[in-house]
Structure 1
């Protein structure tokens, strides 16, 4: 595939250190797909609020991503941005904010994520009203779904189209929904809508069992892995950030191989992590890929890369290279 201007610039200028690791990881990603592999991607941090969907959605549409694991925050914040983008407030000099400034943001209904403030009324409460109806309907029928399945129901209903404030093609969750992409959301209750769901359980308006749990997500992921690896040259693992979004799904391989004694199951066939967590003692997010070999997650021959940099800068460049831009 002929490369576009962005890819050519990267190849010409990114020759050493983290820049070279970016190129190596991007080329290996491309090779992995060309050889018939699939790619599993994880999203930590606040990548949705950083509008990663602008580049990630196209990766999903073009079949460069085959499943995603993300935090509950990333799941919901892509939709928040979709319906309330015009109401967001950006604060370039956020480091200069005083406690009084932060309190003023709270009083005016803004929740800050670094330099970007999410508008509670237009984003969170707007979504709450509509997803609550879906939760209650399932609860009344005794039906149970995974968190992302409720979001897919919400998007497929079309009720949010009246609020769209960005081009729909820039929403990664919409792109995933259109492909019915498998999404894993461990620890979903640690999110704004997760807290809201819990509040309705606390009042007795909803039953906790209506929302499927993290254990059910692990079994869902295990089945996906078993169904997928047999028909590919391997499944790669592309990790953005650290935390539960990466820690949770990478463990499915040792679970299958060691706990279920399915020795024929393949290791993760590619690994790349973009992280600003420096290598440190006892830190999983800062652990080098080699440590994963001893845990049965990666094979000693698995291509592996670490790019110690800001994912908001690095990920779109890698995506552009893989897309040939």
Structure 2
């Protein structure tokens, strides 16, 4: 194993108990999966792109420490928005003190707030809209259909956004993924800003819904990928909860139970960074053992749950994997 840097050594020395210990155990478990030749799925929920996770996650992609991503439509687009409009974002550190009038004033200023960070509508959403719409129209005219992330990859690799870049391109995880044509699933894309925009064009009769491949097609794509890549196991590293995690983890029981492919292996590793409470009946808050009853994890699958803030935990685990 490569020698570790100061961040990795710090957490190994001082993170000894409770969630801190779980963080170290999960990082070592992830590393062990890679060393034995297993592949890894990372799921991104919440607003991890707006939290600028790309600063470190892009390097995880470049170093082949993730092999497929499941993310929300928001994370798919917000990494690119940060790439092209970073200087126009506004941080609101006193967001807990905002009144309804303060919130309305932000809306009137074209700023959409995500906790302490406001995304600029004109510079972010609209700057992308004209370019992605052109790709949608070109595909439809040619009778072609693509997944949401494939359109995003095409836009990034075409170079049409280069004039807008406001951060180092190496800090964009979507650009790193596009360069590798990394497998990706984006369930529920329709509820994202770009998904809403696409739907508006469908309603206006300017686009056909068929031009965009669907969630069912994402599931069948994932089923094929899992079947082809599970020889040495596939681990599951979940950041947050929601559909980004729920959607891909279900591919195993679907293959095993519904398709009756009884040789389908369970996920070979599972870790979730979550702040959801287990007693509320939420799937996001369920302890990993519950997933055994659904045919997702095996009895011996290494299981970790870190009940903490993903914006703190995920960069530390990625730093450990990068030997920083």
Q: Give the equivalent residue in structure 2 for 1:215.
A: 216
1:117 alignment partner in structure 2: 118
- Which 5+ residue runs of structure 2 have no aligned equivalent? none
SS at 2:236 equivalent: strand
The reply to whether residue 277 of structure 1 matches residue 252 of structure 2 is no
Q: Residue 130 of structure 2 aligns with which residue?
A: 129
CA distance in 1: counterparts of 2:132 and 2:103, whole angstroms: 29
Give the corresponding residue for 1:303: 302
Q: What does residue range 49-60 of structure 1 map to in structure 2 within 5 Å?
A: 49-60=50-61
Aligned to 1:15: 16
- Pairwise CA distance, 1:175: 0.5
Q: What SS does the aligned partner of 2:281 have?
A: coil
Quote how far apart the aligned CAs of 1:281 are.
4.0
Within 5 A, what are the aligned runs for 1:97-112?
Answer: 97-112=98-113
Deviations 1:210-243 (A, max 9, x none): 001000000000011011112xx20000000000
Residue 258 of structure 1 corresponds to which residue in structure 2?
257
The TM-score, its normalising length taken from structure 1, stands at 0.99
- TM-aligned CA deviation for residue 244 of structure 1: 0.2
In the TM superposition, 1:180-191 aligns within 5 A as: 180-191=181-192
Deviations 1:176-215 (A, max 9, x none): 0111100100010010010000000000000000001000
Measured in 2, the distance between the counterparts of 1:321 and 1:153 equals 32
Q: TM-score, normalised by structure 2?
A: 0.99
* Residues in 2 aligned to 1:82 and 1:135: alpha-carbon distance in whole angstroms: 21
- Secondary structure of the structure 1 residue equivalent to 2:262: coil
Deviation at 1:282, TM superposition (A): 2.0
- Residues 130-163 of structure 1: per-residue CA shift (max 9 Å, x gap): 1000001111122111000000110111000110
User: Shift of residue 22 of structure 1?
Assistant: 0.1
Q: CA deviation at 1:317?
A: 0.1
- Size of the alignment, in residue pairs? 323
Structure 2 CA distance, aligned partners of 1:18 and 1:165?
Answer: 36
* Separation (CA, whole Å) in 2 of partners of 1:111 and 1:191: 13
Q: Which runs of 4+ in 1 moved over 2 A?
A: none
Separation in 2 of the partners of 1:204 and 1:141? 17
In structure 1, how many angstroms separate the alpha carbons of the residues matched to 2:204 and 2:106? 29
Q: How does 1:59-98 map to 2 (within 5 A)?
A: 59-98=60-99
For 1:40, the equivalent position in structure 2 comes to: 41
RMSD: 0.6
Deviation of residue 110 (structure 1)?
A: 0.3
Residues 147-296 of structure 1 mapped to structure 2, 5 A cutoff: 147-230=148-231, 233-296=232-295
1:272 and 1:142 map into 2 onto residues whose CA distance is 41
Structure-2 separation of matches of 1:88 and 1:157:
25
| Segment drifting more, 276-285 vs 143-152 | 276-285
- Three-state SS of the structure 2 residue aligned to 1:280 is helix
CA distance in 2: counterparts of 1:312 and 1:281, whole angstroms: 23
Tell me the SS of whatever aligns to 1:69: strand
